[in-house]
Structure 1
Amino acid sequence: MTAITTASLTSPAGAAAPSLTGVVPPVCTPLTPDFEVDVASLLRLVDFQLAGGVDGLFILGSSSEVAFLPDRHRQTVIDAVLGHVGGQVPVLVGVIDMTTMRVLDHAHRAVRDGCAGIVATAPFYTRTHPAEIELHLRRLAEQCEAPLYAYDLPVSVHSNLDHDMLLRLAADGVLAGLKDSTGDDAGLRDLIVARNDAGLTGFSVLTGSELTVDSALRMGADGVVPGLGNVDPHGYATLYAHARAGDWERAGREQERLLRLMRIVRAAPASRMGRGSSALGAFKTALQLRGVIEHAVTAPPQIPLDTTETEYVRQILIATGLL
């Protein structure tokens, strides 16, 4: 397992090292058939991630179905995971919500309970001006004594995070890092180059794009937050280790195997359910088939996979060596 810390380090050359690196999966939230948090399955999933060699955990993100969960479910997840992990790896907590005051409520609870960092998107529902997004992030950092990571998720919040703003906040000590889920590899590379040019190498840049991790790491990204890592944490840990060793050929081969595995998200046709329902349903179905969680239940109003779609997932798991 690669060592990781959320404290700022100093390299021999005197530049700050990234505060967060490696493989940090956004942990799914297993549910019971009556839509309660399945704590026993959640803890098995956490152990599965740790045994797979991950460097940290991100709970209550998109793959955790955070937008679907009531506050009491969120608290159950925080209590269970932080208590179980006990500092073995850093645990970041998503504090994602529509407005600053609501996000602050989540953040205060997460910090009180001992998280290693909090993760926030831009505000959403109403469209926010870039100046309002910056104010939002500054207020979170001012009022919460934990590292703050921005989450660039334009598909859900309908707004990209401005790179100049991100680096300004990094320079001011507001942001510890970024999860980039834009899918824009050129933009990601531009941000990494701008970060390095500004000497802000302590600002962690993590890609959320599961299928181009080898490319992102070669460009200088510090790690990955892969939803597919729920299903195959060892695969992403292996990819990251090859990249750290400079063995790009082996990293590429592992990335291609994971690309084939990612085809599970196509289990259901778009005519029957949303892409998010298909992807999260496939992740949970794969975890159930692998014996990690008890049920493949997703939160309503998402539509569950049927038996044909479950068999599709099973066949891909067999083809990629996971069953």
Structure 2
Amino acid sequence: MSTATALTGVIPPVCTPLTPDFAVDTASLTRLLDHLLAGGVDGLFVLGSTSEVAYLPDAHRRVVLDTVVGHVAGQVPVLAGVIDMTTLRVLDHVRAAVDAGVDGLVATAPFYARTHPVEIALHFRTIAAAAGLPLYAYDLPVSVHSKLPGDLLLDLAGEGVLAGLKDSSGDEGGFRNVLLGRRERDGLAGFSVLTGSELTVDSALWMGADGVVPGLGNVDPHGYTRLYRAAAAGDWAAARTEQERLVRLFDLVTVGRGRMGHGSSALGAFKAALYLRGVIAHPTTAVPQIPLDDAEIAAVGKYLAAAGL
């Protein structure tokens, strides 16, 4: 079920604050939501990669859904990740998200078992038929091990199955081909094409992307909304200046690399930055991710200071 108008703007993938004993910290989550809304964001994406969805049990997912939908209360659209290995498992998450009252759903291709494009298409068609809400495809081959073919995405959009794409593939040529295909095919004006790259938003918007889903937007939502508004106004010099400041800020994700995996370092850095900014109470990440130590958290603080935060 697609939408008549493409979703646009800055839609951060919301971090999931945790207590030291790994429960969802709902007080910190509501502060984070207020921080993002005050930053002028155009929507919110919960239960994605930056939300640590792969680490959260189903009960945690439901707490996040109920907290976010209840607190946001329709101020901006809320998209919910329904990410799991196979279609029947995803449908359980669809039912929970629809019951919570979200505005749209985000799903990856199936994973663990490698799938053929025909199976991926069936996966998305089945989800869309069950949900009755706009469904956005999440292209994340680094985790899912399947690259979503551009023609398949556009075909599904033409059928009304997909309302949009969040592209975190890193394949900028493929991303541009999706934008070109949308322009060349009839009836796809409402198909929203969003970049998941924090570092090339100005380029993606110049190519014709509708918006951005930036993990770093948790830390600096104002920066991404300034970037988007500048691009929308055609002020590409201002957009480039803001993008370059955010590129330097994004280096905070490297503070733990070498002692831990890239995911632990990046998600730990986002949460450390939110902790240092007084938004969340604890920088806890879900196990088995490795927590940042005091020196690494202090290094995150230096990046914040350099960025004017």
Q: Tell me which amino acid in the other structure corresponds to 2:61.
A: R
Q: Tell me which amino acid in the other structure corresponds to 2:216.
A: L
Number of residue pairs the alignment of both structures matches: 307
2:88 aligned partner: 101
Distance between the aligned counterparts of 2:95 and 2:117, measured in 1? Answer: 24
Q: Deviations over 1:229-263 (max 9, x none)?
A: 00000000000000000000000000000000000
Q: Residue 194 of structure 2 aligns to a residue in which SS? A: strand
Distance between the aligned counterparts of 1:185 and 1:283, measured in 2? Answer: 25
1:37 corresponds to 2:24? yes
1:259 aligned partner: 247
Aligned ranges for residues 19-38 of structure 1 at < 5 Å?
20-38=7-25
RMSD value, Cα = 0.8
Distance between the aligned counterparts of 1:187 and 1:123, measured in 2? Answer: 20
Distance between the aligned counterparts of 2:155 and 2:303, measured in 1? Answer: 44
Q: Tell me which amino acid in the other structure corresponds to 1:65.
A: E
Moved over 3 A (4+): none
**1:46 counterpart (33, 44, 56):** 33
Contact 2:273 2:304 in 1 (8 A): yes
Q: Residue 33 of structure 1 aligns to a residue in which SS? A: coil
Q: Residue 62 of structure 1 aligns to a residue in which SS? A: coil
Distance between the aligned counterparts of 2:264 and 2:30, measured in 1? Answer: 23
What is the Cα deviation at residue 25 of structure 1? 0.1
Which has the higher mean CA deviation after the structures are superposed, 123-132 or 67-76? 123-132
1:318 corresponds to 2:308? no
Distance between the aligned counterparts of 1:162 and 1:111, measured in 2? Answer: 27
Contact 2:35 2:279 in 1 (8 A): yes
1:114 corresponds to 2:123? no
Contact 2:3 2:191 in 1 (8 A): no
1:62 corresponds to 2:46? no
Distance between the aligned counterparts of 1:27 and 1:188, measured in 2? Answer: 23
1:174 corresponds to 2:161? yes
Q: Residue 199 of structure 2 aligns to a residue in which SS? A: helix
**1:232 counterpart (204, 220, 225):** 220
2:277 aligned partner: 290
Q: Deviations over 1:172-197 (max 9, x none)?
A: 00000000001111111111011110
Which has the higher mean CA deviation after the structures are superposed, 309-318 or 279-288? 309-318
Distance change in 2, residues 1:7/1:161 (3 Å): closer
Q: Tell me which amino acid in the other structure corresponds to 2:156.
A: L
TM-score, with length taken from structure 1: 0.94
Aligned ranges for residues 171-320 of structure 1 at < 5 Å?
171-199=158-186, 200-270=188-258, 272-320=259-307
What is the Cα deviation at residue 269 of structure 1? 2.6
Q: Tell me which amino acid in the other structure corresponds to 1:256.
A: E
Contact 2:17 2:283 in 1 (8 A): yes
Q: Deviations over 1:51-74 (max 9, x none)?
A: 000000000000000000000000
Distance between the aligned counterparts of 2:17 and 2:130, measured in 1? Answer: 31
Q: Residue 151 of structure 1 aligns to a residue in which SS? A: strand
Q: Deviations over 1:138-197 (max 9, x none)?
A: 000111111000000000000100111101100000000000001111111111011110
Q: Tell me which amino acid in the other structure corresponds to 1:158.
A: H
Distance between the aligned counterparts of 2:57 and 2:244, measured in 1? Answer: 37
TM-score, with length taken from structure 2: 0.98
Distance between the aligned counterparts of 2:11 and 2:138, measured in 1? Answer: 14
Distance between the aligned counterparts of 2:44 and 2:291, measured in 1? Answer: 25
Distance between the aligned counterparts of 2:29 and 2:281, measured in 1? Answer: 9
What is the Cα deviation at residue 7 of structure 1? 4.6
Distance between the aligned counterparts of 2:147 and 2:139, measured in 1? Answer: 6
Q: Residue 63 of structure 1 aligns to a residue in which SS? A: coil
Q: Deviations over 1:83-122 (max 9, x none)?
A: 0000000000000000100100001111122110000000
